[in-house]
């Protein structure tokens, strides 16, 4: 023990074995103030805190699979920097964005939500009406069905995990349960579908089946990470559909209509359908699947032989992440990773594992399993099942190859 009665670093290193010892090894052993920065005079306080000037972190706007470095006016999505995030929450300004026709400028004082169709009492709400209602808050991921579309056909070895998996993010969303609104308008029992429509120029509108799960979990959000929604994410109102296609989380929500069949909008006929290997297309493939990716080490990074910590994110639209396994020998053998708890249902969960790299070329892979027993498929069986005609819902295991110089590259398997 040191003279202050705390275990000293020297003591810790001398007695610890295994992981802690290998993490601490190579760091200076010291117990004096000379090793920490001097105290410094601070800058003025402000009304808004900015990121440290030393932290370089941002999204990357893209125009579609493989279309990077585009004029921002051509961008259709902007990906979250998964390789630079820690924990499981995506900072609000780094939540990925997918907007089909730009971000409308909506005045919350003038905005309205119409709830009508097969109901006894059609109603129009303003934003304050909704804020006065009972609320729910949920920390959930939203994922674009296009996430992973970079790797359907080939693997560009210069891609980062931001490029391959950056269309998923986890935030805490707050709003009014769909059920509460349904009771207010007195929905007809025979209504089994709902149309949700946005007020952007594209007028993104989707038909949503009113299953028990959706009735229990969907909500109309006005809050994101403790503040009003950001404009890019639907200000002042968006639908949140935990576990389901990002596209169903309608932003700039202006209308909910109840009916007894899907509306067959162009978003569910021309777009967001899945062409299968046999030439037939699947419609209404609404749930996001069990998925994961190692975020470090990941594409374009370089590692050194010896101790390395592997970490990444796993998520499932079915429920909670129950287990993540990692292979460091190209999917021949697997070891269970530690999960950063709690693993919330339908939210991203961080996983980690220590690893000693022997300096020989190898491949690292992660495989997640959720609490419904759904296992993330390897790429070969995934492609054998769905073929390569589809564009959406790619969720095969991600493989990173590491060469003898420690360079990490995106590969198919
Ligand atoms: N009104 C409207 N809602 C929308 C969209 C849109 O373009 N317009 N994009 C959808 C798609 S395809 C996705 S993946 C998610 C993206 O949500 P985010 O930008 O908050 O990440 O919003 C969905 N909701
Ligand atoms: Mo999307």
- Whether residues 276 and 351 share a domain: the answer is no
**Global pTM value:** 0.92
Residue 10 has pLDDT above 50, yes or no: no
Task: Give 358-368 pLDDT, tens digit per residue.
Answer: 999 999 999 99
Clarify whether residues 203 and 152 are in a common domain.
yes
Instruction: Look at residue 2 in the predicted model and tell me its pLDDT.
Output: 38
Residue found under tokens 């590259």? 409
Domain boundary among 227, 253, 281: 281
Q: What are phi and psi of 354, to 5 degrees?
A: -85, 150
Say if residue 238 is in the same domain as residue 314.
no
| Residue 15 in this model has a pLDDT that exceeds 70 | no
Per-residue pLDDT, averaged over 391-410, amounts to: 97
196/250 same-domain check: yes
User: How far is Cα 374 from Cα 316, in angstroms, rounded to an integer?
Assistant: 9
Residue 324 belongs to some domain of the structure: yes
Per residue in 283-322, pLDDT tens? 888 999 999 999 999 999 999 999 999 999 999 999 999 9
Task: Please give the pLDDT value at position 24.
Answer: 53
Indicate whether 168 belongs to any domain: yes
Residues 185 and 323 in one domain: no
Domain that holds residue 343: 291-411
Do 299 and 375 sit in the same domain of this protein? Answer: yes
Most confident of 5-9, 48-52, 265-269, 273-277: 48-52
Q: How confident is the model at residue 172 (pLDDT cuts 50, 70, 90)?
A: very high
- Residue 330 backbone dihedrals phi, psi, to 5 degrees: 65, 45
Looking at every residue in the chain, the average pLDDT score rounds to 92
Task: Choose the weakest-confidence range: 113-122, 259-268, 317-326.
Answer: 259-268
**Residues 269 and 298 occupy one common structural domain:** no
The whole-number average pLDDT for the span 110-125 is 98
Residues 338 and 299 in one domain: yes
**Residue 271 pLDDT:** 82
Q: Does residue 16 lie in a domain region?
A: no
**DSSP 8-state class, residue 187:** B
Q: What is the count of structural domains for the chain?
A: 2
So what's the pLDDT on residue 12? Answer: 40
69: in domain:
no
Position 118 pLDDT exceeds 70 = yes
* CA-nearest residue, atom 10 of ligand 1: 247
pLDDT bracket for residue 108 (50, 70, 90): very high
Whether residues 277 and 303 share a domain: the answer is no
Nearest ligand (C-alpha, residue 96): 1
Q: From CA 343, how far away is CA 321, in angstroms rounded?
A: 6
Mutate to test the pocket of ligand 1, among 144, 207, 221, 265 (most ligand atoms within 8 A of CB): 144
**CATH code at position 122:** 3.90.420.10
Structure tokens at 136: 């729910």
* Domain shared by 338 and 385, yes or no: yes
392 secondary structure, DSSP code: S
Q: Tell me, yes or no, whether 11 lies in a domain.
A: no
Q: Is residue 300 included in any domain, yes or no?
A: yes
Contact 349, 339 (CB under 8 A): yes
Q: Choose the final residue of a domain: 281, 306, 325.
A: 281
DSSP readout, 114-176?
EEEESBSS-EEEEHHHHHTS--EEEEEEEE-TTTTGGGSS---TT--HHHHH-SEEEEEEEEE
* CATH classification at residue 315: 2.60.40.650
In the DSSP assignment, the letter for residue 12 is: H
Task: Provide the pLDDT confidence category of residue 27 given band limits of 50, 70 and 90.
Answer: low
Asked whether the predicted pLDDT for residue 25 surpasses 60, the reply is no
Q: How large is the average pLDDT for residues 332-360? A: 98
Dist CA 385 CA 110 (whole Å) = 49
Please check whether residue 243 is in contact with residue 224, taking contact to mean a CB–CB distance below 8 angstroms: no
Phi and psi (nearest 5°) for 129? -55, -45
pLDDT score, position 19:
55
Quickly tell me which residue has 């959720």 as its tokens: 370
- Report the range of poorest mean pLDDT among 107-111, 197-201, 272-276: 272-276
E strand or H helix that includes residue 367: strand 362-370
- Nearest atom within ligand 1 for CA of residue 253: 1
**Same structural domain, 396 and 312:** yes
Q: Which ligand is nearest to the CA of 168?
A: 1
Confidence of residue 37 (pLDDT cuts 50, 70, 90): confident
Residues 246 and 295 in one domain: no
Q: pLDDT value at position 1?
A: 36
14 domain residue, yes or no = no
Residue 121 has pLDDT above 50, yes or no: yes
E strands present in 212-273: 219-224, 227-228, 238-240, 253-259
| pLDDT band at 3; cut points 50, 70, 90 | very low
- What span, in angstroms and rounded, lies between the C-alpha atoms of 298 and 363? 11
Ligand 1 and 166: CB distance under 6 A: no
In a domain, 21, yes or no: no
Segment 38-91, tens digit of pLDDT: 899 999 999 999 999 999 999 999 888 878 878 878 888 999 999 999 999 999
Last residue of a domain, one of 222, 251, 281: 281
For ligand 1, is residue 377 a contact (CB within 6 Å)?
Answer: no
Q: What is the pLDDT of residue 26?
A: 55
Q: Whose CA is nearest to atom 16 of ligand 1?
A: 98
pLDDT beyond 80 at 20: no
Please give the number of the atom of ligand 1 that sits closest to the Cα of 203: 1
Q: 192-231: per-residue pLDDT in tens?
A: 999 999 999 998 999 999 999 999 999 999 999 999 999 9
């Amino acid at each position: 023990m040191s003279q202050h009665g705390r275990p000293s670093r020297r003591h810790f290193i001398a007695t610890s074995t295994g992981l802690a010892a290998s993490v601490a090894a190579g760091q200076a052993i010291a117990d004096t103030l000379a090793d920490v920065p001097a105290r410094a005079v601070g800058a003025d306080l402000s009304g808004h805190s900015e990121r440290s000037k030393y932290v370089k972190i941002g999204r990357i706007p893209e125009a579609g699979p493989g279309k990077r470095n585009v004029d921002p006016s051509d961008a259709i999505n902007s990906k979250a920097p998964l390789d630079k995030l820690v924990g499981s929450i995506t900072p609000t300004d780094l939540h990925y964005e997918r907007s089909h026709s730009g971000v409308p400028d909506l005045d919350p004082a003038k905005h309205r939500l119409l709830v009508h169709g097969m109901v006894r009492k059609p109603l129009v709400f303003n934003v304050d009406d909704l804020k006065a209602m009972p609320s729910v808050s949920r920390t959930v991921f939203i994922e674009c069905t296009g996430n992973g579309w970079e790797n359907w056909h080939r693997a560009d070895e210069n891609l980062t995990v931001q490029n391959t998996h950056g269309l998923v993010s986890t935030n805490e969303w707050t709003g009014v349960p769909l059920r509460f609104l349904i009771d207010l308008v007195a929905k007809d029992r025979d209504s089994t579908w709902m149309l949700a429509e946005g007020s952007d120029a594209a007028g993104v509108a989707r038909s949503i089946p009113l299953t028990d799960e959706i009735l229990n979990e969907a909500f109309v959000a006005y809050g994101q990470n403790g503040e009003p929604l950001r404009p890019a994410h639907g200000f002042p109102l968006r639908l949140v559909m935990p576990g389901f296609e990002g596209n169903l989380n309608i932003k700039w929500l202006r209308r909910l209509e109840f009916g007894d069949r899907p509306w067959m909008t162009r978003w569910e006929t021309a777009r967001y359908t899945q062409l299968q290997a046999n030439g037939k297309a699947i419609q209404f493939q609404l749930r996001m699947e069990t998925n994961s990716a190692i975020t470090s080490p990941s594409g374009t990074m370089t590692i050194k032989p010896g101790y390395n910590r592997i970490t990444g994110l796993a998520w499932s639209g079915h429920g909670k992440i129950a287990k993540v396994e990692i292979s460091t020998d190209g999917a021949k053998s697997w070891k269970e990773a530690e999960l950063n708890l709690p693993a919330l249902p339908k939210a991203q969960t961080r996983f980690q594992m220590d690893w000693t790299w022997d300096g020989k070329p190898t491949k690292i892979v992660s495989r997640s399993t959720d609490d419904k027993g759904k296992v993330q498929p390897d790429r070969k069986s995934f492609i054998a099942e769905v073929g390569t005609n589809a564009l959406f819902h790619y969720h095969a295991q991600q493989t990173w190859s590491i060469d003898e110089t420690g360079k990490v590259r995106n590969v198919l398997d």
